[in-house]
Each structure stands twice: as C-alpha cells, then as structure tokens.
Amino acid sequence: MERRAVMMGMGMGAIAAAGALGAKPADAAEGAAKAAAKDAGKIAVITGFSSGIGYGTALQLAARGIHVIGSYRNNRPGAMKLVEEAGKLGVKVVPFHLDLNSMDSIAKFQADVAATLRSDFDRETFDYLSNNAGMSTMASFAETKEEAFDEMNRVLFKGHYFMAQGLLPQIADGGAIVNITSSATLPTSVSVGFSAYAAMKGAMTTLTRYMAKELAPRGIRVNSVAPGPTRTRLGNDGFSRFPEVIPPLVAETALKRLGEPVDLGRVISALLSDQLGWVTGENIEVSGGYRM
C-alpha cells in the first residue's frame, strides 16, 4: 500500500522514467538494434555537408544505414571524401553543387533531389532534412555593410526558408527536419561583431517553431540545434587561421574543450530519429556548457 501511494505521487513521467531505469541492458541493446534496422534505407537531405557539422551529421546518419543527398558550395573534395567514407558503411551519398545566394541554384538543387530520388532510390520522397549550410562575416553593428547583411540573409535565412518550402512535396509524412541556428542568439552568448549573423540565426529559430506548428498535421517534426563554438571551416576556416582564439573560448566552456562536428552530428542525428519522436518545435543548445 505504501509503495502504491508513493508511485501515485510520483506522476506518470516519473513512473515512466523509473520503468526505463529498470530496463535490462539486453532490452536496451535490442531496442537500439531494432531502431537501426528500421532506419536502414531511409534518405536524408543535408545542405552544406562537405565539412564541419554537415559532414559529421552525414556520417552519423550513414552509420544508421541512411542514404544522403547533399550539397557543397566550394569544397567538392570534402564532398567526395564523404562519398568514400559513407560507401565504406554501405551507404550511398549523392553530392550536388548549391549556392544559397542564388534562387536559381536553389531551384536546381531541388530538381536534382527529386530526380535522384527517382533514379537512384526508386522513390518520390525522402525522410529527413537538415538545413545546415552557412557562412559568417564578422563586423560590429555600426560597421556592417548592406552587401554583407544581404548575403548573410540569403545564405543563413532566406535560402533555407525557400529551400525547405520547395522540398515540402518530397518530404515524407512522418519525417523530420532540423535547422541549424546558433548559441549567438542566446542572452548568454552575445558577442560584439555578430549582430547580423545572430539576427539571421534568430530568424531561423523563430521559423522552426512556425514550421513545427504548420507541418504537424503531416506528422513532420521540426527542431533546431544551436551550436556553441565548434571546430568548423566557418569564417573562412577561422579556427585554423587564428588558433589563438580557441583557449579563451575553451575557458568559457564548462566541459573545457571546443566542440567538434561529431558532437553536433550525434544530436542532429538523434533529433532526426524516431527515438525522439515526441520532440518538436524546440531549439536545443549544444555547446558543452558555453558561458553557462
């Protein structure tokens, strides 16, 4: 009777958690294996997958048996390396050029996706979308030029907006979308020189909630991930050119290291899986505790 009273007071969420904690390791392993088997043969579209977070995400999905159609802008060698690495896992990766500055380039990529679905996979739809491609120009609010502002708008917001819109007919019902935002949009991470960049990423955070609301009737989940400082080629490969900026960033990070693409890839891959099928409309910071 006492145990029953305690359980009733815990609430259903805690009861579920208690049940999960009592699960046998073998049951958990079996569940993971079933999830991986269910994913095999699915298809994801990733913009900007020739390096950094997009590359890390593609490899995480490939490890689950998920094929990838994706884009590169200038780094074709990186895209071809990804094709090779994913091929070792028995997964097909199909790269296409894309410049989010150009609506014509966006339209061509959308047509390439539709044609590849039919020719390479005998399908009309794909399952997952990651709006990842990005760029950054550092300038204070007072010094930001209209040309730089407009390019960041096209690449970081407008391009992704109309990319996702144009791909809606190809996204399968019950699928999932992850938009890449930034911790620069958060009150704890305001830094001089990123007002325009953060404004565009903030727009993506807001768009994520509206997409989640409007696509819910189709069972499509939409979330965003906000990376903290991560070792990518952003800012013209800034971390490689200016390694002296890394120690101060690490000092402000609770886990005392710079983020790596695989850290973000794991989270994005998880959000694109059915195992997080009850999560939508969320913006999840993945920063190792940056400035917490």
- Please report, as a single letter, which amino acid is at residue 56: G
* Helical H segments across the chain, by residue range: 2-10, 12-21, 25-39, 52-63, 76-88, 103-121, 146-153, 159-167, 195-215, 234-241, 246-251, 261-271
pLDDT tens for each residue of 236-288:
666 777 888 899 999 999 999 999 999 999 999 999 999 999 999 999 999 99
Residue 200: predicted pLDDT: 96
For residues 187 and 282, give the distance between their C-alpha atoms in angstroms, rounded to a whole number: 17
Which residue among 55, 72, 128, 197 is the active-site one?
Answer: 197
Domain 29-286 indexed as CATH 3.40.50.300: no
- Please report, as a single letter, which amino acid is at residue 75: N
Q: Are the C-beta atoms of 142 and 286 separated by less than 8 Å?
A: no
Averaged pLDDT, 138-145: 95
- Mean pLDDT over the full length of the chain: 89
Structural tokens at position 1: 């009777």
For residues 69 and 49, give the distance between their C-alpha atoms in angstroms, rounded to a whole number: 9
Residue 112: predicted pLDDT: 98
Q: What angle do CA 245, 156, 146 make, to 5 degrees?
A: 85
Q: What angle do CA 163, 167, 173 make, to 5 degrees?
A: 135
Which residue ranges make up each domain of the chain? 29-286
Residue 115: predicted pLDDT: 98
Averaged pLDDT, 207-223: 98
Q: Report in angstroms the alpha-carbon separations of 232 from 53, 212, 282.
A: 7, 28, 24
Q: Are the C-beta atoms of 224 and 283 separated by less than 8 Å?
A: yes
pLDDT tens for each residue of 194-207:
999 999 999 999 99
Residue 31: predicted pLDDT: 52
Structural tokens at position 164: 């996702």
Q: What predicted TM-score, i.e. pTM, was given to this entire model?
A: 0.87
Structural tokens at position 136: 């950054």
The answer to whether 161 is a known catalytic residue is no
Closest-CA residue to 218 (of 174, 264, 163)? 174
pLDDT tens for each residue of 22-72:
556 555 455 555 656 688 899 999 999 999 999 999 999 999 999 999 999
Structural tokens at position 140: 């204070």
Neighbours of 125 (CB within 10 A): 15
Averaged pLDDT, 108-116: 98
